[in-house]
């Protein structure tokens, strides 16, 4: 799984986008402290020419999301892991 974007990071929830290679899709997610994360929507990669194309299309529907140029491989959608990445990787905080 690759992290594409964190478009909201709060004390009680993190929202964003990931790429799920095994399913050949992009997806939106929500993660909470101490709870299992949820995949909300999946978007088949077949519908996009490239990652850049997906970002451009998604940006029209989610204009406050800032996608990473270089996606980050992550083992899970664990809230603490995502919050740590958000704090330590400035490119994830471009919307601040």
Give the C-alpha separation, 37 to 35, whole Å.
Answer: 6
* pTM of the complete model: 0.89
What are the 10-residue block averages of pLDDT along the chain, 96 residues in total?
Answer: 92 95 96 96 97 92 85 96 89 59
Domain ranges of the chain: 2-93
Q: CB of 95 within 8 A of CB of 7?
A: yes
Per-residue burial over 58-68, b if 16 or more Cβ lie within 10 Å, else e, is beeeeeebbbb
| Residues forming beta bridges with residue 2, ordered by sequence position | 19, 73
The confidence score (pLDDT) of residue 61 equals 85
Summarised one tens digit per residue, pLDDT across range 30-50 is: 999 999 999 999 999 999 999
Residue 7: the pLDDT is 87
Residue 14: how many CB atoms within 10 A of its CB? 25
- List the Cα angle 5/63/11 in 5-degree steps: 50
- What is the structure's pLDDT at 94? 54
């Amino acid at each position: 799984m690759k992290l594409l974007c964190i478009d909201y990071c709060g004390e009680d929830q993190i929202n964003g986008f990931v790429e799920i290679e095994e399913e050949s899709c992009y997806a939106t997610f929500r993660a909470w402290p101490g709870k299992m994360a949820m995949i909300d929507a999946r978007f088949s990669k077949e519908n996009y020419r490239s990652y850049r194309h997906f970002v451009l299309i998604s940006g029209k529907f989610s204009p406050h999301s800032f996608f990473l140029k270089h996606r980050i491989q992550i083992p899970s959608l664990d809230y603490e892991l995502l919050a740590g990445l958000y704090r330590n990787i400035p490119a994830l905080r471009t919307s601040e």
